[in-house]
A and B are shown apart, each in its own frame.
Chain A
């Protein structure tokens, strides 16, 4: 694995030109060193022609020999120079020099479908938004199909699977006649907070959504106000919410319903699980507040016609609510589960990310990255790719052994603490579920690290020994399922679903 050599100026240009409109074209330039590369170049050109067959009615492929790429005259009059990309042959060839149709296919696909940019960026912190968001087309389609049928959705997946990124993408790319408002509920601890976030972190943030506010608020034109004026308005509204959050929410939602006309309005509530957990903690684990809130929210869902909801939550949300005897409050929601990228998508993703960073990665090394990672959890995969990119940028060619060193030394090394801070933070909240819950969870993780899988009953005994009780064992396992990707097999044995997390715990937790 190494940075692409872009100094070689002689090479082969493959141009893909729309048959209907020659201005619609893109080209790949492959530098060539000499006759020794004739056979591989032939493999590349025939490979691309083969993968283009899918689009044979729309596009044709024409090749050009280029003596000096830096002084390339237009090989054909309509050449779009902004869509000329340099690659090396090795990026598309397997170890036995065969064209890798998967990589050729995905790159052709993304060009023809005009994805911008073609190469997803490396995102190591925040949500992957806009250009950085990758794939999930099927899942997004599934969600919109459900919404179009009038269903409300509970999107469930473990942490760092990319729920927020996907929901953000949905909010930025709504279907026709849909208005979407994204609300991040993290930090909310009460029903009043929920209503306030809906207004302040949701509607007020979207200029277009202002039109749907009750008249007394929409005339204020909050987007035209100074920060001080905005703060003042928010303070006044907060006071009103505190007086009667249900009436306030009703006024708000009725206004949206009335003003939607022929449109439909979608609220996306991200981090709904956090809201539930924090609401419970805030009421000292008394489920009454949560019950009241959830029942009210269920009634709202039944009452409104043009407003729909997507709630995102962790996998453990139903178990968690059940453990506090909160039942049935979310049962009307259609459950959608977000899985990890499958193997093919993961390979393509790694290829595209590295290629976008001008890194030549043989297929075997892409496989090695995925093998080292285990389950390709997007957040950690991005971290790994970032570490590899930084090494390559230093001008180093990485051997398979060095890739392994990056994984164990950088991603799991002593400097990696910051990557896992959020997990540590999640662990700390375990003590909300009774004293020594954190210690019990840690002991379970220790046990799971030491064996490939451990029987559920054994873990229950360990939990009992450490915490002195049986209560909340299931709740904690639910949390661990989301935070540590703990999975259960058909024999009721538990195991780490993430090789990376298991190795991290082995090094830094055990």
Chain B
């Protein structure tokens, strides 16, 4: 959870309309703005659930995947932080990719205001889920879907430790209404939850202060663990394939 700094509060006071420009009121204002995102998130979640049920049924002897409905919405503090960073980048013209957000356009430009996560058991399960979503006629009829995968990123393309598939979905009937679906393995999810608290937030708020924040190379260690878990995921999937293929063959014979 982002903690609001003095700069954030000044930003709220200056840029939000009265009476929503106070630490007590700005959250209520932002939540009311993402009302549509909430209902869209529920409807999409229900749709995806229906879509995944046959796969879950196929793999009923083991855990296949689950939908994680915690942390569905970007917190008001995170939204403010994003707005503030974009504002600062514009002022300093520092060429960073903080986005061209302002209070008026943020709700229609930010693509991750609402999101849910599908947590899978094996790497190959991620692929199956991803394929289902990508090929769903229903989802495609309602959304413009953009898929981004960071699972098999080469080292030069790695920007963060997280390995997942992300779908950015724009609701066709209401352009600018976005939803994000993230798909990752249980191991990656576990890593993400730890990293978010230990490294991510600190790094995001002050990207140039890693030496100061992580003198013990905590950030490097976390990245290394992510890679270890990537190896583990690959190995687990190979083991799964050997066992499931064997079982399938026996069933056929």
Contacts and interface: CB of A to CB of B under 8 A. Distances in A.
A171 to B, nearest CB: 46
B232 to A, nearest CB: 26
B116 interface: yes
Contacts of B42: 10-12, 32, 41, 65-66
Interface residues of A, number: 25
B39 A63 contact: yes
A239 to B, nearest CB: 74
A45 interface: yes
11 contacts: A10-B49, A10-B67, A35-B46, A35-B138, A60-B28, A63-B35, A64-B69, A66-B42, A67-B45, A67-B49, A68-B67
A37 B43 contact: yes
A38 B43 contact: yes
Nearest to A12: B42
Contacts, number: 73
A42 interface: yes
Interface string A30-64: 00111111100110011000000000000010111
Contacts of B43: 32, 34-38, 41
A9 B69 CA distance: 13
B40 interface: yes
B116 A65 contact: yes
A67 B47 contact: no
A73 interface: yes
A332 B235 CA distance: 94
B142 A35 contact: yes
A442 B68 CA distance: 70
Contacts of B69: 64-68
Contacts of A10: 42, 45-46, 49, 67
Among B35, B36, B41, B43, the most chain A Cβ lie within 10 Å of the Cβ of B43
B50 A38 contact: no
B46 A32 contact: yes
B76 interface: no
B44 interface: yes
A364 to B, nearest CB: 25
Contacts of A64: 38, 69, 72
B71 to A, nearest CB: 11
B50 A34 contact: yes
Interface residues of B, number: 26
A389 B77 CA distance: 49
Interface of B: 28, 31, 35-36, 38-47, 49-50, 66-70, 72, 116, 138-139, 142
A34 B43 CA distance: 5
Nearest to A62: B31
A131 to B, nearest CB: 33
Contacts of B139: 35
A34 B39 contact: no
Interface string A1-22: 0000000111110000000000
Interface string A62-80: 1111111000010000000
Given A8-B46, A34-B138, 19 more contacts: A9-B49, A10-B49, A12-B38, A32-B43, A32-B46, A34-B47, A35-B47, A37-B46, A38-B39, A41-B39, A42-B39, A45-B38, A63-B35, A64-B38, A64-B72, A65-B45, A65-B72, A67-B69, A68-B67
Interface string A97-138: 000000000000000000000000000000000000000000
Contacts of B66: 67-68
A66 to B, nearest CB: 6
A11 B67 contact: no
B55 to A, nearest CB: 16
B186 to A, nearest CB: 16
Nearest to B69: A67
Contacts of B28: 60
A-B pairs, top 6 by smallest CB distance, nearest first, are: A34-B47, A67-B69, A67-B67, A38-B43, A65-B42, A10-B46
Contacts of A37: 43, 46
Contacts of A34: 43, 46-47, 50, 138
A33 B46 contact: yes
Among A33, A34, A64, A66, the most chain B Cβ lie within 10 Å of the Cβ of A34
Among A10, A34, A65, A68, the most chain B Cβ lie within 10 Å of the Cβ of A65
Contact of A12 (B31, B39, B49, B68): B39
A241 B119 CA distance: 82
Given A45-B38, A65-B72, A35 B67 contact: no
Nearest to A49: B35
Contacts of B67: 10, 67-68
Nearest to A46: B35
Contacts of A63: 35, 38-39
A33 B142 CA distance: 15
A65 B47 contact: no
B36 A35 contact: no
